[in-house]
Amino acid sequence: MSQPTSHTAPALTVLEQVRANFLRQKAGLFALQELGMVAPLLVWMYRDWGGVGGGTAGVLLILLTLGIQTMRWRELQKRTDLLKVARHLNRRFPQLEESADLLLQPEEELPLLGKLQRHRTAETLAQIPAEEASSVKYKSSWLMLLLGVALAGALWFLPDFTKTPDKTASTRSGISSDVNAPVDQPKAILPAIEQMNLRISPPAYTRKAPYAVTTPSFKAEVGAQVTWTVKTNQAVSSLQLVLSNQKPIPLRKVASQENTYTTSLTLKQATLYHLRLNGQTSDFYSIEVIPDEAPSIVVQTPKQYTEILFGDPQRVQLRATLRDDYGLRSADLVATVAKGEGEAVKFREQRIPLKLSFTGQPRERQLTQTLNLQQLGMTYGDELYFYLQAYDNHRGYTRTEAFLVEIEDTTVVETMDDLSLGVNPNPEYFRSQRQIIIDTEKLIQERKGLTQAVFQERSNNIGVDQKLLRLRYGKFLGEEFESNIGGAALPEGLAESHTADDGHDHGAKKEGSEHENKMGELLDPYLHKHDQEEAATFFEPAIKAQLKGALAQMWEAELRLRTARPKEALPFEYKALRMLKEVQQKSRVYVKKSGFEPPPLKEPEKRLTGDLSKVQTFHAQRKEKPSETLMASRQALQRVAQLRQGTKPTSTDAALLEQAGQELGQAAVREPGSYLRALQDVRQLTQDIRARKPLCQDCLTRVEAALHHFLPVSTKSAQKPVSSGAPRKLAQDYFNRLN
């Protein structure tokens, strides 16, 4: 019977090998499937399709598929136990005679025939290779991998269909990433121009590659270098670039190319330009500059003012978003700690580095940082002023408003009683409750290192302090002795057993007739007695009730401190402190401020007399006239309206339109879309008047509409008031006496 037993361990080893080999092959199968799904996503991320959002989505999808495959393999590992492996071998290999399950059963529980069959199955299983017993079909996985690789190859050769207007410069209207791209229809600029190239070299802070514009009017970043390259179909004697109201810039000839001229300039502000070739001028074209925006900082938390109450963690959570149009260079936090009061206040400023990385000059960063006020050296009553500041990669700088964080100081009593009364109703013991809380918290923290006897003694000592503080506050409610506290709420049984010989002074029994006693009971509610404890206080009823509530919380805290339960006493101590603070605020005394009281009017002397001799009528006149600005444009507007009605133009009209064109050109620099076409029409009308050609009616209409839109509304200016001119009686008498 010992021979079958010798084959038990090798048989189980074979089953474990089959299971391990099966799981290993399944892991390879899942890995092939994962590669098939990840390949297209990797190509998507490598091509940078979709920008930052596309790359983030690709990473999330890769992590999601990897997590799903890992969960599938772990679930398969849990389900595939040795019993399932044995059943699989029974189905796969008939020579096992459906007996592989016997290898998992204890041998001592099998009958003699079962032991013989177990021995025979173990010998047969030892002859079967583990690789053959755990073979897995890879056909579906290889097919999925091939499909993924094919899809990745297709994505590799497809054009980027996810480009957005902000991703590249070539997607913007009139912009080309090819620096050699020419301007469209150059002959429309001037007939002699064969080809014209406009190349933009953005400044270094934009981190953009040079590009070309295909329209003569364009936008460029401030500080960019613009290069004009003009190729003519004939030799020219003079080719100039004329900016608005500036000295013409001559284009120099390119030595290696025939009839090719070039010039460059650095953009600093928006302007208009035109080309002048052999005295012939082109239309006006606009150059708009894209300014470098300063960084923006949006602070989500904390609020503008934050107060940390007593017992709260002395930490401030700072969350903010930093953005810039071209890239952030650095940012930091400037904090100022204010300590002390009045003339003894001290300030300490320091810069706190932010836990952010600006490698690569990112355009956006999310800031999440915790400010530990204790590490900044702050304590109760201190204030923290801080602000964030950020720098971009050019000259931009932004700082936020100042944020204030204050730690509540419970030792300070804000009162104005000294301005009103000589009596201060606030006692000097208001600061002791906070010390009891501090001692209780310290005892809770040090409990592990104390023996039980020492712990109980310290807790009892804090309870004694709580009792003394309670008695001190009780004095303000008329409870001058501990035996008097709560005496009004004694049960009836105890009140009856409270006799005159228990050691207290109950006072002598009143002597007098029954009639006098009844009269005294009737007058008791209306008498002001100074010997009553409840009446010997100076608090309002509402404040007195709240102070009694604070004493009740002290009772509860003292009970738990005396029984060595400081952790349970802490909430009652906090509540007592909060109620005491509210009592302090409610017990303020305010006095009405005295002001100026005018003397009473002498009504009998002034009323109904009808004396108007000292009342004079005031007359004022004001003349308004429109401000005299843009007079050339105003005169040109009137003249254009006459020309539209058929008036014959004169030589002075051309000069007037030129002056109006200079004024209109200033508006065209700011708003080229509104006034650039009208400026070109003004030039056309000027040339037609001097050449004595018929005027373009459409040009007159557009110029008139543009001048109407350009001229401001007439403003009114106030003139010096002019008197009515009526001579006064005293002045008239004076001149009469002179004669």
CB neighbourhood size of 202 (10 A): 20
Nearest to 240 by CA among 272, 274, 286: 274
Domain boundaries, the chain: 2-157, 169-290, 297-407, 418-485+533-586, 631-710
The lowest-confidence range among 214-218, 299-303, 412-416 is: 412-416
Distance CA 66, CA 60 (A): 10
More confident position, 135 or 207 = 207
More confident position, 719 or 98 = 98
Distance CA 278, CA 193 (A): 12
- Those residues whose C-beta lies under 8 Å from the C-beta of residue 535, and which sit 6 or more positions away, are 478, 528, 529
pLDDT digits (tens, 9 = 90+) for 396-412: 899 999 999 998 876 65
The lowest-confidence range among 234-248, 330-344, 363-377, 411-425 is: 411-425
Beta strand 397-399 with 383-392 is antiparallel
Distances (CA, A) of 163 to 19, 59, 172, 362: 50, 19, 11, 20
- Those residues whose C-beta lies under 8 Å from the C-beta of residue 584, and which sit 6 or more positions away, are 413, 414, 415, 426, 430
More confident position, 553 or 695 = 553
Whole-number pLDDT of residue 7: 47
The lowest-confidence range among 230-244, 472-486, 566-580 is: 472-486
Distance CA 695, CA 706 (A): 17
Most confident of 81-85, 93-97, 590-594, 727-731: 81-85
What's the mean pLDDT in 227-231? 90
Whole-number pLDDT of residue 14: 67
Banded model confidence at residue 625, pLDDT cuts 50, 70, 90: low
Mapped onto helix, strand or coil, the DSSP state of residue 643 is helix
Mapped onto helix, strand or coil, the DSSP state of residue 307 is strand
Whole-number pLDDT of residue 167: 39
Question: H or E stretch including 195?
Answer: strand 193-201
The angle subtended at Cα 399 by Cα 393 and Cα 400, nearest 5°, is 140
The lowest-confidence range among 407-416, 518-527, 569-578, 629-638 is: 407-416
More confident position, 163 or 279 = 279
Residue 566, pLDDT > 80, answer yes
Whole-number pLDDT of residue 396: 87
Q: What are phi and psi of 728, to 5 degrees?
A: -75, 160
Report the percentage of the chain scoring pLDDT > 90.
13
Beta strand 305-308 with 403-407 is parallel
Q: Are 287 and 668 in contact (CB under 8 A)?
A: no
Residue 498, pLDDT > 70, answer no
pLDDT digits (tens, 9 = 90+) for 435-445: 899 999 999 99
Long-range contacts of 128-133, Cβ-Cβ distance < 8 Å, separation of 24 or more: 128/14, 128/89, 128/93, 130/14, 130/17, 130/18, 130/21, 131/21, 133/18, 133/21, 133/89, 133/92, 133/93
Whole-number pLDDT of residue 132: 61
Radius of gyration from C-alpha coordinates of the chain: 49
Q: What is the homologous superfamily of the domain 169-290 according to CATH? A: Immunoglobulins (2.60.40.10)
What's the mean pLDDT in 698-719? 72
Nearest to 134 by CA among 28, 35, 32: 28
Report the chain's mean pLDDT, rounded to a whole number.
76
Whole-number pLDDT of residue 109: 66
Shared fold status for 169-290 and 297-407: yes
Mapped onto helix, strand or coil, the DSSP state of residue 225 is strand
Q: Are 405 and 373 in contact (CB under 8 A)?
A: yes
Say which CATH class 297-407 falls into. Answer: mainly beta
Residue 512, pLDDT > 70, answer no
267 burial level (CB within 10 Å; 0-12, 13-18, 19+): buried
Distance CA 366, CA 11 (A): 60
CB neighbourhood size of 518 (10 A): 10
Q: Which 8-state DSSP code applies to residue 716?
A: B
Question: H or E stretch including 176?
Answer: strand 175-176
pLDDT digits (tens, 9 = 90+) for 263-319: 999 988 888 888 888 888 888 888 888 888 899 999 998 998 998 888 788 899 999
Report the DSSP beta bridge partners of residue 315. Answer: 372
More confident position, 670 or 250 = 250
